[in-house]
Chain A
Amino acid sequence: MMMTKQEFLTSSGLHVQTLELWLDQKWLLPEESDQGLNFSDRDVARARLILDLKNDLRVNDEGVDVILHLMDQLHGLRSVLAQLRDALPEETARDR
Chain B
Amino acid sequence: MRDPYELIGVDRTASAGEIQKAFRKHAKKLHPDLNPGDKSAEEKFKEITHAYDLLSDPEKRKRFDAGEIDATGAERPQHRYYRDYAAADGDHPYANSAGYADFVDADDAFAELLRRGQRARANRRGADLRYRLDISLLESIAGATKRLTLPDGGALEVKIPPGLVSGQVLRLKGKGALGAGTGGPGDALIEVDVIPDPRFELQGDDIYVETPISLAEAVLGGQIRVATPTGDVSMTIPKGSNTGTTLRLKGKGAPRTGGGFGDEFVRLKVVLPKSPDHELEAFVAGWERGRSFNPREDQRS
Chain A residues close to B by CB (< 8 Å): 29, 31, 33-34, 40-42, 45-46, 48-49, 52, 56-58, 69, 71-80, 82-84, 87-88, 91
Contacts and interface: CB of A to CB of B under 8 A. Distances in A.
Contacts of B80: 41, 45
A75 B84 contact: no
B96 A80 contact: no
B257 interface: no
Given A48-B79, A82-B88, A75 B116 contact: no
B24 A46 contact: no
B85 A42 contact: yes
Given A34-B151, A79-B89, A49 B114 contact: no
Contacts of A83: 88, 117, 120-121
B81 A49 contact: yes
Contacts, number: 100
Given A76-B99, A79-B90, A87 B33 contact: no
B88 A58 contact: no
B79 A77 contact: no
Interface of B: 23-24, 27-28, 31, 33, 36-37, 79-90, 92-100, 113-114, 116-117, 120-121, 151
A52 B83 CA distance: 13
B94 A77 contact: no
B258 to A, nearest CB: 40
A42 B85 CA distance: 5
B177 to A, nearest CB: 13
A87 B111 CA distance: 13
Given A45-B84, A83-B117, A75 B24 contact: no
List the 3 closest A-B pairs by CB distance, nearest first. Answer: A73-B99, A79-B90, A42-B85
Nearest to A77: B99
Contacts of A88: 113
Contact of B82 (A29, A34, A46, A73): A46
A84 B82 contact: no
A57 B96 contact: no
B96 A75 contact: yes
A60 to B, nearest CB: 13
Contact of B27 (A34, A57, A69, A80): A57
Contacts of A34: 151
Q: Which of B82, B87, B95 has the most CB of A within 10 A?
A: B82
